[in-house]
Structure 1
Amino acid sequence: MIIGGFESIVDDRAGGATGYADGYIVPVPDGNKDAYRAMADKASEVLRDYGATRVVEAWGDDVSDGKVTDFNRAAHKQDGESVVFSWVEWPDKETRTAGWEKVMADERMKPDESNMPFDGKRMIYGGFVPIVEA
């Protein structure tokens, strides 16, 4: 089990139930927090334009080292970086699949490789079906 505490820096939601979720973690240099947040705000708008019902970006606040594994090791965190834990909620997997196709084609999401606030090679992500929702 990997456990950590994260301070929400973006929580953008619409109404509706969650039928599918994308989750990801990424290490971000501490000096890039504002740049990351600006990028996350822009991405949240695009994701919601294409069907996401909620986007949460949370900055590592209480992320300790585990005995076997942890968020820091999973993301290959280096000194001077924090781990960001994020998720995107969708009404269902079909909306998510169609939405991501549109997101990736949207001009607003074209990366500025010279100004990326994080190392995308160390991002971990996946899609998840909720099994408990309260």
Structure 2
Amino acid sequence: MIKVAMTSVYVDDVSKAHAFYTDVLGFETRIHMDLGDGTLFVTVGAANGAQQDLQLLLEPGQGPIADPYRRAVREAGLPCIVFSVDDIEAEYQRLRGLGVAFTQEPRGQGPVVAAVLDDTVGNLVQLVQPKG
């Protein structure tokens, strides 16, 4: 069986992304390693030890491949990643209370209710909750 172990999100600033994804979104730090020359290797994952085998790498987003990709995805209004939540309305209200900017309020989209937020480090992120 093959499973997803790690996926990455290109970010403007790894330290700022780490703070946003942990302090605001509520993920926990899995790996925080200085590779030298100011380069950080940082992964986060679901809080309270959930999904231990799945990590999100906060990848430095500069460079000839990452920059055009990130710009195109952002300009198209597409989220770079989708996270599931148990109660999208509660998360929406909690995050708005913390000052998070949303480009889409919760609304039905096929089998889910979805909202889109700005992660402050160059990306749009979608939150989804299954309907019913």
The two structures share one fold, judged by TM-score above 0.5:
no
TM-score calculated relative to the size of structure 2: 0.35
Name whichever structure is richer in helix by fraction.
1
TM-score calculated relative to the size of structure 1: 0.34
Name whichever structure is richer in strand by fraction.
2
